Amino acid sequence: MTDGPAKMLLTATGLTKRFQIGSGSLFRPPRQVHAVDGVSLSLAAGETLGIVGESGCGKSTLSRLLMRLIEPTSGTISFRGEDLTRLSPAELRGVRRHMQIVFQDPFGSLNPRMTVRQIVDEPLRVHGQGSRADRDARIVEALQVVGLGAHVLDRHPHEFSGGQRQRIGIARAMVLNPALLVGDEPVSALDVSVRAQILNLLRRIQSETGVGLVIVSHDLGAIRYICHRVAVMYLGRVVEEGPVEQIFRDPQHPYTRTLISAVPVPRVTGRGPRLAVQGEIPSPLAPPPGCHFHTRCPFAMPVCRQIAPALAEIARGRRSACHLHTQPGAAPIPPSPRTGPAGPSTRA
């Protein structure tokens, strides 16, 4: 949000998705889930934006909304200056070659009946890119970028490990040189040892191609490692957003603090008391009124139960949605109990 919207690769404004649960009955309207509730985000070219949150906070729905794999209930998505929500199906198909997605499940995202060649060829074929020989050359090139070679072309997905399959998925996504790559939990299903390889691969691809990355994950370590900026989601809303190191070192929103405090830190001498989040995440079918987090927030005030705080700029490039920042009469935010691994010795 530090640059003007003109320089932005992707800008989502007020993005909302409601799902209907059941069909309701004659006298009762169907129940609705606010999976994503008024999310506004932006991504510059060559930037990596992380989206973190607990299970069920709407981050996967958001990633599919950004790709327009599902229709938003309201809000707009501007991609390279075009409003994706207004495009006709034919126009949308043309735009799709510039935006690609990598999925969580490396076993489910590749058709088991197709060969690697057919899988990576699909984007080239659909968008009519060159002759058979040209496409073969580009397929091999894409496979080499992800660390696989021409020798895998005629194999089937079941012959590969999870990490290798995810590389094939990345090759498929990158073969058209998209401007935007969305990763929906791209490393969550992988072994820890393979995770770092895939994260490094994504980082290298970005530095070489300048692709804009959106990485959705519940893995805070992965987000911190790969992202420039991060948006924290809670029950369909963004509660805090800013540069990744600032958020991790000095989280401002109470939810972000509990989330970051929950990251296990390997340390022989043990650690101070965690700021454990109390209770369970409320059902998205009946989210609490006002600030969604007030049922679990240690600093909840009466106003939090009535009015949802707006996502407001609290410092340059940082936004947070909490009444503690804005209420003139409110007590100042107590110092963070833990300021991340960078300053563990400041606490007795």
Partner 1 sequence: MQQAPRPGDSWRRRFWAHRSAVIGGGLFAAILFGCFVLPMLLGTNPTATSLLHRFEPPVWMEDGALANPLGTDNLGRDLLIRILVGGQVSLMVALATVTVAVTVGLILGTLAGYFGGWVDTIIMRVGDLFLAYPFMLLTISVIAILGPSLIVIVLVLALSDWVTYARTVRGSVLSAREREYVAAARSIGTPDLQILRLHILPNVLSPVLVLATVRAANYIIWESGLSFLGMGVPPPTPTWGMLLAEGRDFILDAWWLATLPGIAIMLTILSINLIGDGLRDAFDPRLKGGRA
Size of the chain, expressed as the number of residues it contains: 348
Minimal distance, residue 159 CB to partner 1, in Å: 9
**267 is an interface residue for partner 1 by CB under 8 A:** no
Closest CA to 140 of 126, 153, 129, 130: 153
Are 182 and 150 in contact by the 8 Å Cβ rule? The answer is: no
Minimal distance, residue 71 CB to partner 1, in Å: 12
Closest CA to 41 of 54, 55, 18, 59: 59
**79 is an interface residue for partner 1 by CB under 8 A:** no
**111 is an interface residue for partner 1 by CB under 8 A:** yes
**235 is an interface residue for partner 1 by CB under 8 A:** no
Q: CA 7, CA 315: separation in Å to the nearest integer?
A: 21
Minimal distance, residue 110 CB to partner 1, in Å: 6
**53 is an interface residue for partner 1 by CB under 8 A:** no
126 or 137: whose CB is closer to partner 1?
A: 126
122 or 245: whose CB is closer to partner 1?
A: 122
Residue from 126, 262, 285, 312 in contact with partner 1 (CB under 8 A)? 126
Matching residue, tokens 């300053």: 343
DSSP string of 7-38? GEEEEEEEEEEEEEES--BTTBPPEEEEEEEE
**335 is an interface residue for partner 1 by CB under 8 A:** no
C-alpha torsion angle, residues 103, 106, 108, 112 (rounded to 10): 130
x/- mask, partner 1, residues 168-187, rule CB under 8 A, reads -x--x---------------
Are 282 and 295 in contact by the 8 Å Cβ rule? The answer is: yes
51 or 235: whose CB is closer to partner 1?
A: 51
Minimal distance, residue 103 CB to partner 1, in Å: 5
**324 is an interface residue for partner 1 by CB under 8 A:** no
Minimal distance, residue 157 CB to partner 1, in Å: 9
- In the chain, what is the straight-line distance between the N-terminal and C-terminal CA atoms, in Å? 37
**64 is an interface residue for partner 1 by CB under 8 A:** yes
Query: Which listed range, 120-128, 237-245, 283-291, 303-311, lies at the site for partner 1 (CB under 8 A)?
Result: 120-128
- Long-range contacts for 115-118 (Cβ within 8 Å, ≥24 apart)? 115/153, 115/154, 115/155, 115/156, 116/143, 116/148, 116/152, 116/153, 116/154, 116/155, 116/156, 116/157, 116/168, 117/153, 117/154
Minimal distance, residue 105 CB to partner 1, in Å: 6
**158 is an interface residue for partner 1 by CB under 8 A:** yes
**21 is an interface residue for partner 1 by CB under 8 A:** no
DSSP string of 158-171? GGS-HHHHHHHHHH
**262 is an interface residue for partner 1 by CB under 8 A:** no
Give strand pairing partners of 232.
52, 240
3-state secondary structure of 133: helix
Tell how strand 318-320 and strand 312-315 pair up: antiparallel
Minimal distance, residue 73 CB to partner 1, in Å: 17
Number of residues that bind partner 1 (CB under 8 A): 27
The residues that touch partner 1, with contacts defined as CB under 8 A, are 64, 67, 69, 92-94, 96-97, 99-101, 103-105, 108-111, 113-114, 122-123, 126-127, 158, 169, 172
